A and B are shown apart, each in its own frame.
Chain A
């Protein structure tokens, strides 16, 4: 059984799917993942498409059974039918995108439907539905059919739906996918407020700034395996062999950028407002700055230095090296 301070404990979780092509080997979606999540944390699961993020979330939210390994959520084994029935009252899930709602029903009717399925007492239901509509800023559109909602409104009503049973753990599978920056920021603010209120959040995302802003801890997975784990700064430290170099030049350094690309380094040049150019790239090894200073010198180097890697650079380094 999971220890009580952790609300989620995944132990050597593995999930395979049969191939649709006869004779082909099984597809391994999750390959021996282990991690623990503390109560009230925002825990990130990061990884490229097909890495196994959604599969992991589906296993933890009781939508999929693991092929092997164990996962305990709020102390309940997600592969134990009886335990799962009780667990479902205490968790909920939001999938990214526009699906998961009845479009011919209004926002309020959708929330009432799902609150009935969660057995929320009738007296409580009205108060809770109105409160959630208020929380996600949809009070005025409460009685409008969901088919008339914008994408952002649909995503907000999604989140309200998932909060209908006041879950202790909320699984968010790419909740800001396809949203404009303003709406994404609103959703991130809502996630932060939920966490401040004591809800444990499991978040999958492609957006590194989102993970950096929200997550207390995270795992980075690639091809079903954990390739990095810890807090944002721990993950950055994990790539201590990587140096992030920033060069500012007076002239367009495209030729040098191309030379870096030929060496397999991911560099790009950005034109600054003051007419200068900035190049940033991550490099492994112990080349020092001298070599790059010489490489960029034809373009009149204004400054050159080593900076702390961003989470994105750490992520790309970990995923690329897996």
Chain B
């Protein structure tokens, strides 16, 4: 991995973000829409935990929408724009650039989540209070890290196929549901709950709820430390998997010559 290329990917994504209006939709408008829908759904039950579930749900949905959009779109953009080839034949390769872009998406995702909380308070007067703000911020950041890792893994596969943008749409909703952001995992069918156990963001959402709600009863029956440990471990596995998949995909691209097809 090249730190210079990571920074370059971060900076390039940041410039694209501020100069290309289409980024505003998934990054800023979509999370607000999600939160509004959630708050309207729960508006008759505006007590602490329910509101928090709604706001957290909106925040995580926004973060994931942003991450998955950033992952798929940036690679599709490179493919269409003919910039994938110069990246692939550079000594740094695509992996470092993707990490940089994911870090940018994570930062924007975090800003999003915080904005969602602010707007919920301002527009709905949710009276939201967070039990442990420091832990809340930390677990939220870790959750973003897990989402970014998943985004990385998905982005690497998008290098291989020109159907990246379609896949990104397919990927959005399962994660919303299985992460427990939309509804508690305990409300899901048994099989789906098992899949959630393997998803880093699900442990992240559980950890965030631990930090935010006094006396929170874990979806997995564990404490915040166990949640965070699982979150970190699964995220690291995702990152390592992304790296390995990337190596395989780079080789596959050489064999198929598919980097310029779109």
Contact = CB atoms under 8 A, between A and B. Distances in A.
Contacts of B81: 99-103
A119 B92 contact: yes
Interface string B1-13: 0101101100110
Contacts of A117: 2, 4-5, 8, 86-87, 90-92, 96-97
Interface in A61-113: 61-65, 81, 85, 88-89, 91-93, 95, 97, 99-105, 109, 112-113
Nearest to B96: A117
A63 B254 contact: yes
Given A63-B254, A161-B86, A116 B19 contact: no
B89 A100 contact: no
Interface residues of A, number: 34
Residue among B2, B254, B255 with max Cβ neighbours from chain A (10 Å)? B254
B82 to A, nearest CB: 3
Nearest to B18: A104
A265 B259 CA distance: 42
Main DSSP-derived SS at the B contact region: helix
Most chain-A Cβ atoms within 10 A of its Cβ — which of B7, B82, B97, B255? B82
Nearest to B77: A102
A118 interface: yes
Interface in B5-44: 5, 7-8, 11-12, 15-16, 19-20
Interface string B79-104: 00111011111111000110000000
Contacts of B257: 17, 55, 58, 63-64
A6 interface: no
Given A114-B86, A118-B91, A118-B92, A104 B254 contact: no
A246 interface: no
Contacts of B85: 63, 93, 95, 100
Given A64-B257, A117-B97, A93 B89 contact: yes
B251 interface: yes
Interface residues of B, number: 29
Given A113-B8, A113-B12, A118 B86 contact: no
A315 B51 CA distance: 76
B91 A104 contact: no
A100 B4 contact: no
A116 B7 contact: yes
Most buried by A among B8, B15, B96, B257: B257
A276 interface: no
Contacts of B5: 116-117, 119
Contact of A61 (B2, B11, B89): B89
A124 to B, nearest CB: 12
Nearest to A112: B8
Contacts of A119: 2, 4-5, 91-92
A192 interface: no
A246 B255 CA distance: 49
A17 B5 CA distance: 32
A145 interface: yes
A119 B8 CA distance: 10
Interface in A204-256: none
Contact of A100 (B8, B11, B83): B83
Contacts of A104: 15-16, 19-20
B91 A105 contact: no
Nearest to B90: A117
B100 to A, nearest CB: 9
Nearest to B15: A105
Nearest to A67: B255
Interface in B235-260: 251, 254-255, 257, 259
A147 to B, nearest CB: 9
Interface in B210-262: 251, 254-255, 257, 259
Nearest to B250: A81
Nearest to A64: B257
A226 B97 CA distance: 39
Given A58-B257, A119-B4, A105 B86 contact: no
A117 B41 CA distance: 47
Given A89-B91, A104-B16, A109-B15, 8 more contacts: A93-B86, A97-B82, A100-B81, A100-B83, A101-B81, A101-B83, A105-B15, A109-B12
27 contacts: A55-B257, A58-B257, A62-B254, A63-B89, A63-B254, A65-B255, A91-B89, A95-B82, A99-B81, A101-B82, A102-B12, A102-B83, A104-B16, A105-B15, A109-B12, A113-B12, A114-B86, A116-B92, A117-B86, A117-B91, A117-B92, A118-B90, A118-B91, A119-B2, A119-B91, A119-B92, A161-B86
Report the 4 A-B pairs with minimum CB-CB distance, sorted nearest first.
Answer: A99-B82, A116-B8, A117-B90, A100-B82
